[in-house]
Amino acid sequence: MRRFATRLALLALLVVLGDSAFLSAFLCAAETSTAPEAEAPVVDTPAASSEPELLTIGSVAPAIDIEHWFHEEGAEAEPITSFEPGHVYVVEFWATWCPPCRSSMPHLARLQTKYADQQVHIISVGDEEVATIEPFLETEVPLDEVPLDNDEGAEPLTYRQVTAQYQLTTDPDGSVKEDYMRAARQRGIPTSFLVGKDGHIEWIGHPMELDGPLDNVVNDTWDRAAYLEAKKEFDAMMQKLHGSVQSGDMEGALKQVDDFISATSSKDYQEQAMEMRPKVQGAVYQGWIRSDQVKAADWLAKVAADEQVASEEIHALAWIVVQHGQHGIPIGQPLGEAAIEAIRYRMEANSPDANSLDSIAHLLRLQGDLDRAIEVQEQAVELADRQGKRPMARFLSRLKKEQATMAADAAEPDAAEPTAEPTNDAAE
């Protein structure tokens, strides 16, 4: 569990989409974007309907003929059309509308700076019109993504300044995209193709995972054959995983991931499987919430006791119980209590925090204990900051209204009895 989920929002989405539906989408296109719906689809003509020969690891990298290069005065003043022997190239595909592409730009800038003197050339290829890209380049990079050694307090950097470290381009006719992305059966962006010193494709993947393969290729320590073998093993595991997910066998899916982690000799693919595991386990957990809450409770207690799992992740798992209850899944006492105890276990006894108490109050409400829920929520409201106080106060008001309604409902039979007697007397 040492690499438990760090993307809590993705895990929470399982509640809404359902475990197998979410995992199917995640396994197909994690961390990438596809073109927005407004973009016109590519329609093949009858003459071009057949798929091109598969571009894969070991294939000769196609020559590139790119229409527009944005940084003509940067490190790469001359457009590149062919791959020079002994040089290393990264051909990466991006778009202005793609959030992961934008997030990858500072990383690509760091890599180009790192290997500036080692004949490494990073080329990002878009397919939008220049008129679309130019305004985007003038926008500022978010502060948490500022690249290189930008001094604290310095002027914000624009995307034009960041991408000046490498070669940003666009090819509106889509010819380079056709030769790479379509030929490699790649649908999501960003996707990067690492071209080795002999002009062959060495690696295909997300640019945020480029560091290891690039370093090995630059330093002549890359083993293409070993990587291909590991990739085949990983792809076979993914095929089985897809089958288990589609059939709803989430525990079987988890076992396939665990078996692969134990058996593979590839550190890179082992890490990928370990990053995937929490999402599969999350789907299993939610399946248990629906069908076997004792298992869910036992697993949650085990995770809460693991000090390597962050407290925020424990709260996320407990909140998933709340969300299931809000979606009409009855939450039994064992699971409700396990979720409460998981939060309490991580909450410092002498300094409880508002969010933890708020979660506990929601769980108590699901179990019908409004008195304790109100008591705990009052503490949460008292401890909350300005931003959190209003929604927590609203929930407290809701709890008190529910309590008043229950009290009124319980008193109704007693109130009805005195009105019945006069009616009987009149009848007599």
Contacts of 305 (CB under 8 A, 6+ apart): 345
Number of domains within the chain: 1
The rounded average pLDDT for each run of 10 residues, N- to C-terminus, in the chain (428 residues) is 37 43 47 49 44 86 94 64 95 96 95 95 96 95 63 75 93 96 94 97 94 96 92 91 86 92 89 88 91 94 88 90 94 94 78 89 94 95 92 95 90 56 37
Kindly state whether residue 103 falls inside one of the protein's structural domains. Answer: yes
d(Cα 344, Cα 315) in Å, to the nearest integer? 10
* pLDDT given for residue 73 in this prediction: 53
User: What's 75's domain CATH number?
Assistant: 3.40.30.10
Per-position DSSP letters for 211-273, written without gaps between them: HHHHHHHHTT---HHHHHHHHHHHHHHHHHHHHHHHHT-HHHHHHHHHHHHHH---HHHHHHH
Domain that holds residue 91: 51-205
Q: Would you state the pLDDT for residue 79? A: 84
Helices (H) and strands (E) in the chain, counts: 16, 6
* pLDDT at site 332: 93
Per-residue confidence (pLDDT) for residue 51, from 0 to 100: 62
Categorise residue 10: left if φ over 0, alpha if ψ from -120 to 50, beta otherwise. alpha
What predicted TM-score, i.e. pTM, was given to this entire model? 0.64
Evaluated on CA atoms 146, 148, 151, 156, the torsion sign reads negative
- Can you say how many angstroms the Cα of residue 101 is from the centroid of all Cα atoms in its chain? 14
Helix/strand/coil for 91: strand
Please return the burial class of 220, using the count of CB atoms within 10 Å of its CB with bins 0-12, 13-18 and 19+: exposed
Instruction: Evaluate whether residue 115 is within a structural domain.
Output: yes
Q: How many CB atoms lie within 10 A of CB 18?
A: 16
pLDDT of residue 93: 98
Residue 104, in any domain of the structure:
yes
Q: What share of the chain in percent tops pLDDT 70? A: 79
Assigned domain for 108 exists: yes
pLDDT at 72: 61
- At 142 the pLDDT is 83
Decide if 145 contacts 188 (C-beta within 8 A).
Answer: no
- Whether 148 is covered by a domain: the verdict is yes
Q: Are 263 and 255 in contact (CB under 8 A)?
A: no
Domain membership of residue 138 (yes or no) is yes
pLDDT at 266: 86
pLDDT recorded at residue 6? 35
User: What pLDDT score was predicted for residue 326?
Assistant: 92
| 89, part of any domain | yes
In a domain, 26, yes or no: no
Question: Are 196 and 202 contacting, i.e. CB atoms less than 8 angstroms apart?
Answer: yes
Residue 145: predicted pLDDT: 62
What pLDDT sits at residue 420? 41
